[in-house]
């Protein structure tokens, strides 16, 4: 899975938590690590996230947020099957 796929997934997790109906827009996402990237989101304004593909435990090896890591692992397996 590439960085864009993970970025989209993390944005979708935020969307699901917010309980917003999908209506996708291209927005800028700023991470707490300082990384900025564009993603498709139901949000119309810029987002701020705690983890991104640059600092996520999946890439850094640090277990920062356990729940998110578990979801990413499931997503990664699903992605691998489709691919
Ligand atoms: Zn980050």
Residue 51 Cα to ligand 1 midpoint, Å, equals 4
Q: Given a cut of 80, is residue 82 above it in pLDDT?
A: no
Domain span holding position 69: 3-82
- Cβ(10)–Cβ(49) below 8 Å: yes
CATH of residue 11's domain is 4.10.80.400
The more confident residue out of 65 and 11 is 11
Alpha carbon distance, N-terminus to C-terminus of the chain: 9
The Cα–Cα gap between 71 and 24 comes to 21
Question: In the predicted model, what is the mean pLDDT of residues 6-24?
Answer: 76
Q: 63 pLDDT exceeds 60?
A: no
**Residues having C-beta closer than 5 Å to ion ligand 1:** 31, 33, 35, 52, 54-55
- 80 C-alpha to ligand 1 centroid (Å): 23
For residue range 23-52, list pLDDT tens digits in order: 778 899 999 999 998 888 877 888 888 888
Helix (H, G, I), strand (E, B) or coil at 21: coil
Token duo for residue 19: 């309980």
- pTM metric for this prediction: 0.40
The total number of structural domains in the chain stands at 1
CA of 67 to the centre of ligand 1 (A): 16
- Ligand 1 centroid to Cα of residue 61, in Å, is 13
| pLDDT above 90 coverage of the chain, percent | 10
Strand order in the sheet with 36-41: 36-41, 25-31, 47-49
């Amino acid at each position: 899975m590439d960085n864009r796929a993970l970025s989209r997934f993390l944005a979708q997790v935020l969307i699901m938590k917010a309980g917003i109906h999908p209506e996708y827009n291209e927005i800028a996402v700023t991470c707490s690590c300082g990384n900025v990237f564009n993603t498709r989101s139901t949000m119309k304004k810029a987002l701020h996230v705690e983890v991104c593909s640059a600092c996520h435990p999946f890439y850094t090896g640090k277990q920062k947020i356990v729940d998110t890591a578990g979801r990413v692992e499931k997503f990664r397996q699903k992605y691998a099957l489709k691919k």
